[in-house]
Structure 1
Amino acid sequence: MTSTVPAALTRTADGSALQAVLLDMDGTLVDTEGFWWDVEVAVFGELGHSLDDSWRHVVVGGPMTRSAGFLIESTGADITVAELSVLLNERFEARIAGQVPLMPGADRLLAELARHGVPTALVSASHRRVIDRVLLSLGADRFALTVAGDEVARTKPHPDPYLYAAQALGAHPSRCAVIEDTATGVAAAEAAGCPVVAVPSVGLIPPAPGRTVVRSLEDVDLPFLRSLITVMN
């Protein structure tokens, strides 16, 4: 985990009820969910197995161990979870060796949050080596904190990553707006007690109490995020 924040941030620079914004990475800020699937299809093709497209919604957004385990069990491939995890991470890193495409509205939203002094954290199930590569495109200086899936005892769908991020930023989870693109990530944020903005990338995510579903990050700005905290508190 990396952090540049002081120990006790309790409010944003303008004193609003919104204390922090916590954002997922793949499929939320960067258009890479399809990259992961392409890599998985290619790797299993080399192992002599094909992947059913319906499995995408199972493996998207979750920890590497869960995705790898599911695909091994589903295909019967002769490879361990540890071996497959290393192979997938290596192939994905190669896939994003150049500039990573940002999701529509991501650059504008991050700039707006920075301009208004809103503490912002990147919270991902991806491993640190992958996050650091993607940060070359996103800009590491835009985040006070980054949390990787291999740096917490339990990653998404468990609440641990979001609870850690809120605590590290000195914020209460109920005053941290979370932006996610998958059901797995939404489950993690909601279990942590955070209001959630869902921007679905693969599969449908229905609206629910404490959860707002939007078409893209182009529909999200700081006044909108502030309104979520006002409603919830």
Structure 2
Amino acid sequence: MTSSISVADTRTAQGPGPHAVLLDLDGTLVDTEGIWWAAETEVFADLGHVLDEVHRDVVVGGPMARSVGHLMSVTGTTATLAELTVAINSRFERLIEHGAPLMPGAHRLLTELSAHGVPTALVSASHRRTIDAMLRSLGSEHFDLTVAGDEVTRTKPHPEPYLTAAARLGAHPADCVVVEDTLTGVASAEAAGCMVVAVPSLVPIDPAPGRTVVSSLEELSVPFLRSLRTRIH
């Protein structure tokens, strides 16, 4: 995705604060965690397996390989990881054909970041096709770039996705704020050396050095994000 405003121009114009804001997708900007579970449930049902709700918290929010690997283990399915990944991604895309629900405050935050010229990246463990499908709801114009899980060698919780986004934006990771909803994503961002705002979705996340926890994106604003260095340090 491209922007009409250059990263170099916006950085000098934005004043003190983060040089870039890097945002997770599922569960952070878009309320898709339940949709992913529905897609997984339907695909495994087609194979004759009923997924117990007890596994939902284990698989939601994690990388596809880990999530599907867990479900393969508990069901004993003979389908391969590659086959299941394709089937689940395809089912998910069908489920969001008519749009995906945004998290409260997501549209307002993205619009505000764009209005203030803050370089912004979408960093997701989801595959490129899935991200592009959800950008129809989010608006690709809000992002200077997007990083998909199948475009990096190692996905979250490894720091590579966030290091990649920061490098492509020309920003030092320590000058970037990451917004995440899961412990997996927080671990990735912190390993990359970024400041973190956690907006927990399914599993509680505790405050920690370099990490601020809020209950909703509605609490976030450009002034809030610009104040994080003072709050954290």
Bin for the TM-score computed over the shorter chain: over 0.9
1:85 maps to a residue whose letter is T
Q: CA RMSD in A?
A: 1.7
Residue type of the partner of 2:97? A
Aligned AA for 1:220?
L
User: How far is 1:7 from its partner?
Assistant: 7.7
Shift of 1:43: 1.4
Aligned partners of 1:209 and 1:97: how far apart in 2? 40
Indicate how the Cα distance of structure 1 residues 186 and 12 shifts in structure 2: closer, same or farther if over 3 A, else same: farther
CA-CA distance at 1:137 after TM superposition? 1.0
Q: CA deviation at 1:56?
A: 2.1
Distance 1:71 1:45, change over 3 A: same
**How many percent identity over aligned positions?**
65
The two structures have a TM-score, normalised by structure 1, of 0.94
Q: Which residue of 2 aligns with 1:30?
A: 30
| Deviation for aligned residue 1:205 | 1.3
Aligned residues: 232
* CA deviations over 1:165-200 (Å, ceiling 9, x no partner): 001111111111100111111111111011111111
2:60 aligned with 1:60: yes
Q: Secondary structure at the match of 1:168?
A: helix
Q: Which amino acid in structure 1 is aligned with residue 89 of structure 2?
A: N
Instruction: Check the 8 A contact 2:198/2:213 in 1, yes or no.
Output: yes
Scaled by the length of structure 2, the TM-score of the pair is: 0.94
Unaligned 5+ segments in structure 2 are none
Q: Secondary structure at the match of 2:99?
A: coil
**Structure 1 residues 167 and 205: CA distance shift in structure 2, 3 A:** same
Spell out the pairing of 1:71-86 with structure 2 (5 A cutoff). Answer: 71-86=71-86
Gaps of 5+ in 1: none
Matched, 1:193 2:208: no
Q: What is the CA-CA distance between 1:9 and the residue it aligns to? A: 7.2
1:130-169 equivalences in 2 (<5 Å): 130-169=130-169
Contact preservation (8 Å) 2:199, 2:213: yes
